[in-house]
Amino acid sequence: MIQATIRRSHDKGILSFEMTGHANFAEHGQDLVCAGVTAVVFGAVNAVIVLAGFEPLLDIGEDGGYFYFEFPESLDPEARQKAQLLIEGMIVSLETIERDYKDNLRVTTNII
């Protein structure tokens, strides 16, 4: 199962998110859930880079089983607002997948 953990501050702003594990929906190369999650996450991060115009802090595991994204502390307010909306959109997309594949993806939120 892929575990997606969203870390939010008390004012609900997103601080970071972390993806661990594999979907295990089907064998490697045919795993539709892994493909969907990968497309949503890599796409959202690319959208942040292209549309909000900054490089987030990233840590991407070699075997595809780990992905960490963090907002830089100092950031232009408009860029932050755009990126927050794009990552909120990514979370809605992950929750859309989770609804149909509860055994393969779990999205949880921690308030820091």
Active site residues: 22, 34
Among the listed ranges 3-11, 53-61, 62-70, 86-94, the one in contact with its own copies (CB under 8 A) is 86-94
What does 14-68 look like in DSSP terms, one character per residue? EEEEEEES---SSSTT--HHHHHHHHHHHHHHHHIIIII----EEEE-TTSSEEE
Smallest separation (angstroms) from its own copies to the CB of 53: 12
Q: Does 44 bind its own copies (CB under 8 A)?
A: yes
Among the listed ranges 2-10, 12-20, 25-33, 62-70, the one in contact with its own copies (CB under 8 A) is 25-33
Q: Does 26 bind its own copies (CB under 8 A)?
A: yes
Q: Does 82 bind its own copies (CB under 8 A)?
A: yes
Q: Are 66 and 53 a contacting pair, CB within 8 Å?
A: no
